[in-house]
Amino acid sequence: MRSCTSVTGWTILCDFDGTISVEDVIDSLLDRFGRPGWETLEQDWRAGRIGSRECMTGQVALLDMNREELDRHLSSLWIDHAFPAFVKQARELATPIHIVSDGLDYAIKQILSRYGLNDLPLAANHLAPATPPQKWQLTSPFQADGCRSGTCKCAVAAQASRGGAKTLLIGDGASDFCAADRVDFVFAKHRLIEHCRAAGIPYVPITGFEDALELLPRLLDGSLLAEHETAIPADRAVA
């Protein structure tokens, strides 16, 4: 992840699958192209027997598709309709935004290219063609020692906060739990809401980027943090 100077003093780290994208990309690929065995890996991951990196490496090796089929499938997947406007707002406010995902870099870039957003800095697993009989392989350039995830979001968050920058995490699920403990504030969806509430992490719940569009200026000017610090319930509905 390349560094970027923030005029506002904040950097945004944003998950992709289920946060920017409407559905989880790897799940949709496995449902469509997965050979038998990927469900067992999924069960082992959910039971905690393996980490997400081991799970996804095995699952990607079971994808039976060619590049044309992959691209056709990716062209059918959509992102939150308000995300392009959110990126535009962040750029107007001179606040860097980085995508930090435990998903697939090729898929993310292909989907975002339809919206003219494939230039966003990206930390994700790398999807590449494999030597037959496998068709695809996964590598994890953003893994870290002691972390079982393909992309160590904690390490990315630590890098983003170097030099005193504050970090905002936008996410939705288990891959964001660890990083949520290491950032300054969270816009949370779905399972991440419960994690932040239980762990006492400063956050506001969002349903999507329409909410984030309203909240970002208030975070940058300090008013959202002031609300949080004066004990307005963090789990109140977003107006």
Lowest mean per-residue pLDDT among 115-119, 218-222, 229-233, 234-238: 234-238
Determine the pLDDT at residue 6.
Answer: 58
Tens digit of pLDDT for each residue in 97-152?
Answer: 999 999 999 999 999 999 999 999 999 999 999 988 889 999 999 999 999 999 99
Which tokens go with 101?
Answer: 């995902």
Question: Among the listed ranges 86-95, 149-158, 224-233, which one has the minimum average pLDDT value?
Answer: 224-233
Q: What is the pLDDT of residues 89-111, one digit of tens each?
A: 999 999 999 999 999 999 999 99
CA distances from 220 to 107, 117, 156, 158, 224 (A): 31, 23, 21, 20, 8
| Beta-ladder partners of 169 | 13, 186
In what helix (H) or strand (E) does residue 103 lie, and over which residues does it extend?
strand 97-104
For the chain, the average pLDDT equals 92
CA distance 41 to 44: 5
Q: Is 117 helix (H, G, I), strand (E, B) or coil?
A: coil
The Cβ of residue 184 has, within 10 Å, a number of other Cβ atoms equal to 18
Assign domain 10-23+79-229 to its CATH superfamily. Answer: HAD superfamily/HAD-like (3.40.50.1000)
Q: Which pLDDT value is given to residue 164? A: 87
Per-residue pLDDT tens digits for 20-71:
999 999 999 999 999 999 999 999 999 999 999 999 999 999 999 999 999 9
All CATH 3.40.50.1000 domain ranges in the chain, comma separated: 10-23+79-229
65 and 33 Cβ atoms separated by less than 8 Å: yes
